[in-house]
Structure 1
């Protein structure tokens, strides 16, 4: 396991930092933890039942916290709209009342296709209050991925903007038989035929609504995975998931009531829903939402002016900030910032330690999946950080490294730093309850009392987990199993490299050889001299067996819209294979 021989020293936490953290002692918290106790911290519905929106909004209002600020929305033009918990609840109630007046029943599917607009938050919480199922879609999807997800999930209601509807939905709207209602935000004039203008409809709807009595196991959320191959899978999550959203926000993200919190993930993805809406609100924080796209100067300003305490972002964004920093290394002025975390794909060690240089504290990587519904493994505020590691399992989560036998059985590997598949013992509240209409595909995820994640990992002697790669990304070369992340991290140590992606290409002798694709920081020229320098750097750090045999320069690397590098697409292009489902691909410059 070369991952642990990295030159990155462990970042030690001071006694003061440990004492300040919500979870002060990992071992003690883990041995004491019970999910039933976490559940008891939530109110439940009056008279029985559990509803995510009730825990996110009404619980605080009933406890006298209605005047606390829940949402501060910053528009592209810097216009600010603010909503207290009581005001946000009233807007959610209006949306729930509107659904009820349209005849939308418990369990029906409400899809959102919106940018980061206030209406998205009203719709998400109002849908849950009404007992309907909320399904977020990413607003940058093209018409085909939108339609596929609406057909698979049998959408009954679509909430979108007039502009997105006309551009992406109107042409085929009549061909999805389950779709009864289209609610349009931002209508300039009369809405298109068969659609309803959202703002006037909300204004006319009742601001009081009795939350539908939902049971803990009732479906609440349907999240489509950005699957790298095949049709997107709809992961089913239930109201009970809020127990995990709430407690992991406090343990993994160190959220405290009254914090100002910024999650930069788009609510079209699971992170933007679980930790961009539900977890922060159940934890009583003020949520900062920026409508605009990524911009280095704007982000600097938000961190400073909004006095952000906790910031949750993605590795892609961190690397873009690092790229800008390489040209303009001004210290970040973010005196209120207490905790920074990252998710989406593994965070390279260089990015973790860059946090210390730029902000005076490291980024804390964590790991989870659409299927797990919430954070499972994390670098906690009180824990020493080993750059490049995804941390340790949260209290209440049991993780292991396993190997599958040809007969389908699974056994745990105990040896430190042995590579195997990351697996979890089922039983946490936000575990998916199925893939919609794909029971066989769901059952394949489980064996011998484990949920099999499809990710390869290693666990060190102190219980820290190290990500190796997706099982189907791992490269087998001359008897070595090579994880792309390890090679990419080493390439990123080089001063010229902004991003790297590594794939295996067929080779008659070695089986596969490693090829790397790199995007350079500004001020560096692609060329033979730099290529040789990078190859030499990788060989020195990794050894000839693991280092890339070839390096290609790219302007940008293909990524999903949630920021994951699409290695399989690079491989398909190299080998002239079909590119597969590109619905989650960001537009790219080639």
Structure 2
């Protein structure tokens, strides 16, 4: 059974990265709607084609083909319609790793409503913030008493905005039992026409950015956005038709639609969803190997945990390709994973605002720690503090040139915040806020968020290089490098470290780690301050919140 990939691209096969960059184009049809034009079309032409493989730690399993997805998304669309949801309305989904997430997002696409995926880790304050800014009409939640309690608290005073609360398979006053509603709903749902039909520039997705440096912003994506993820899935993740792809991501993260929905289904691979309550490396390895995952994507944090296990105990005969994104990859992790599996980790870079914009593609030899080269249709440049293009080796901000138009997959601005949109997207460039440098081969190397750069005694120090040096030491499981104000040097380098099993914090270990960094990189970059902690502060999408560490240090001083 084949995918529909060829219909949406200029060509599918390339001999080199240069040919790919120059010749690849995405073809965007008029009024594209992923739910109808991909999922329902599979259901009509290849109804038995496997789409979703779901399992959890309780031994439950579900395998949906595309005919199943059409049936249940049509039923869900009728549920949403029953409670007044129409084109343009915002519905928040806090569904963890539940398979109903995929049913709901397809249903909302069919109606033309705006889906707001959100993590189950939100609190009352977070939810209130989202109700106010996004004007949420309805929420569908997983069966989680704590989360439901937060939603109830946030709902107070906003009953005229948030009209309906629904929960999976639970009877509770003030809440709809979404599971019962879904079962009772009709399977007949027709594609809306006329004024109710969706258009390419309609907003289909709304994400609150992870907020590493401030309050989350509302990132808007339109109905053409899924097509941009053809690049993500087919050419970076290298998924295969009728394969099984696993991206480690909660349904509340933008990474979920990067790796568990759009590009994967366009390219014909099934997506694997392991719905766990708490991450455990051994369980992840067992599930991935036993179900025969063929392609895999995860952030560096996950790989760091995986390589600490005895990988020889697992069958990876089906695994053919692995990629990594979310934060820069430490070379030590790359080498250890290659040693165990024989697979080279192919790094990529992107944001909630985009698809994968820089990546190590199949025709390229990876350079551990490098993001790779720009994606086709994305004119990526580096600009220095003077606003001029950087030379090779010169540090600058990653920007996307949009003077010739917005590339497919780039966001449609920040909802309700024209000022913030104008601050980051002006004079023909979208400013990512991320710093990097480019080597003579054209590979990009991540330095850090512009706010994360440390300026000490006249030197500029990016956190990633020091973190990579520390990760090489067997005692370090995770670490974050930040700057601490210093009256003499301006700032000094601080390391906040989570130790691996079997190691204990001590002055001796602190000195050993400082000496290790001095030998692994330029001596002036070593951490003069070291703090050992049980865990690092992270965003809801798993990125380290260095800003929180800096704020804590300011308060302490």
Instruction: Please point out which of 214, 218, 229 is paired with 1:234.
Output: 218
Identify the residue that residue 227 of structure 2 maps to in structure 1: 243
Counterpart Cα distance in 2 of 1:245 and 1:97: 28
Q: Deviations over 1:481-504 (max 9, x none)?
A: 100011100111112211111111
SS, match of residue 435 in structure 1: coil
Instruction: Please point out which of 171, 174, 181 is paired with 2:164.
Output: 181
Q: Deviations over 1:306-346 (max 9, x none)?
A: 11111111111111223x33xx4635421111111122111
Q: Deviations over 1:50-100 (max 9, x none)?
A: 1121244013234x2211111111022021111111101111111111112
Q: Are 2:72 and 1:81 equivalent residues in the alignment?
A: no
Counterpart Cα distance in 1 of 2:332 and 2:492: 25
Counterpart Cα distance in 1 of 2:516 and 2:214: 37
SS, match of residue 513 in structure 1: strand
Q: Are 2:33 and 1:51 equivalent residues in the alignment?
A: yes
TM-score, normalisation: structure 2: 0.93
CA contact 1:519–1:553 (8 Å) conserved in 2: yes
Identify the residue that residue 421 of structure 2 maps to in structure 1: 442
Q: CA RMSD in A?
A: 1.8
SS, match of residue 156 in structure 1: strand
Counterpart Cα distance in 2 of 1:433 and 1:110: 19
Counterpart Cα distance in 1 of 2:476 and 2:202: 47
Counterpart Cα distance in 1 of 2:80 and 2:249: 27
CA contact 2:210–2:216 (8 Å) conserved in 1: yes
CA contact 1:423–1:453 (8 Å) conserved in 2: yes
Identify the residue that residue 20 of structure 2 maps to in structure 1: 29
Instruction: Please point out which of 185, 188, 207 is paired with 2:187.
Output: 207
SS, match of residue 548 in structure 1: coil
CA contact 1:22–1:251 (8 Å) conserved in 2: no
CA contact 2:323–2:348 (8 Å) conserved in 1: yes
Counterpart Cα distance in 1 of 2:425 and 2:86: 33
Instruction: Please point out which of 354, 368, 386 is paired with 2:336.
Output: 354
Moved more, 561-570 or 168-177: 168-177
Moved more, 328-337 or 518-527: 328-337
Where does structure 1 differ by over 6 angstroms across 4 or more consecutive aligned residues?
A: none
Identify the residue that residue 419 of structure 1 maps to in structure 2: 395
CA contact 2:138–2:164 (8 Å) conserved in 1: yes
Residue 479 of structure 1: how far off its partner (Å) = 1.4
SS, match of residue 491 in structure 2: strand
Counterpart Cα distance in 1 of 2:132 and 2:169: 25
Residue 161 of structure 1: how far off its partner (Å) = 3.0
Q: Deviations over 1:382-424 (max 9, x none)?
A: 310100001111122111110243xxxx2211x2111111111
Q: How does 1:234-313 map to 2 (within 5 A)?
A: 234-292=218-276, 293-313=278-298
Moved more, 225-234 or 162-171: 162-171
Q: Is there any run of 5+ residues in structure 1 with no aligned partner, and where?
A: 1-20, 579-590
Residue 171 of structure 1: how far off its partner (Å) = 2.8
Q: Deviations over 1:103-153 (max 9, x none)?
A: 211011111011211111111111111110000010121221122112210
Instruction: Please point out which of 125, 128, 133 is paired with 1:152.
Output: 133
Q: How does 1:517-532 map to 2 (within 5 A)?
A: 517-532=496-511
Identify the residue that residue 3 of structure 2 maps to in structure 1: none
Q: Are 2:155 and 1:169 equivalent residues in the alignment?
A: no
Counterpart Cα distance in 2 of 1:576 and 1:259: 51
Greater relative contact order (Cα < 8 A, sep 6+): 1
Identify the residue that residue 484 of structure 1 maps to in structure 2: 463
Instruction: Please point out which of 451, 458, 480 is paired with 1:472.
Output: 451
Identify the residue that residue 380 of structure 1 maps to in structure 2: 361
Counterpart Cα distance in 2 of 1:60 and 1:246: 17
Identify the residue that residue 49 of structure 2 maps to in structure 1: 68
CA contact 2:292–2:319 (8 Å) conserved in 1: yes
Residue 23 of structure 1: how far off its partner (Å) = 5.1
Q: Is there any run of 5+ residues in structure 2 with no aligned partner, and where?
A: 1-11
SS, match of residue 388 in structure 2: strand
Identify the residue that residue 505 of structure 1 maps to in structure 2: 484
Q: Deviations over 1:550-581 (max 9, x none)?
A: 22222222222322111111111122179xxx
Q: Are 2:99 and 1:95 equivalent residues in the alignment?
A: no
TM-score, normalisation: structure 1: 0.88
Counterpart Cα distance in 2 of 1:302 and 1:553: 32
Counterpart Cα distance in 1 of 2:346 and 2:34: 27
CA contact 2:231–2:375 (8 Å) conserved in 1: no
Residue 247 of structure 1: how far off its partner (Å) = 3.4
Counterpart Cα distance in 1 of 2:14 and 2:556: 48
SS, match of residue 356 in structure 1: helix
